Amino acid sequence: MSMRIVSAAVCYQGVIFSLPAPNRHHHILHAMYQMGLPNSSHREQGFLTDEGHYIDRLGALEVAQAADQIISNETTWVPAIGLFTEDLW
């Protein structure tokens, strides 16, 4: 069985923040803001795999395609940016 994407995630100063699907990145960013973390450009949006690994949007696109997880015929992803939660749930 191949690796799969299980949730959206945000990496900020080496700490991974995530909420279970079907939450999206903006839900995580809102929770981070409520925790008192600054709205900073020093954060990276990505995803968690079923093995617990954080991967960026480009890596997540490869994983989701290999696992046949893309649900839409109309992709929202841009090859230079990578995967969006809207492509999964």
Q: Give residue 37's pLDDT.
A: 92
Q: Which residues contact 26 (CB under 8 A, 6 or more apart)?
A: none
For the chain, domain boundaries: 5-87
User: What is the spatial distance between Cα 73 and Cα 86, in angstroms, rounded to a whole number?
Assistant: 12
At 23, the amino acid letter reads: N
Mean pLDDT of the chain: 91
Q: Could you tell me how many residues make up the chain?
A: 89
Band the pLDDT of 74: cuts 50, 70, 90.
low
32-67 residue pLDDT tens: 999 999 887 789 999 999 999 999 999 999 999 999
As a whole number of Å, the end-to-end CA separation of the chain is 20
Stretch 70-75: mean pLDDT:
72
Q: Where are the beta strands (DSSP E) in 2-89?
A: 5-12, 15-20, 43-49, 54-56
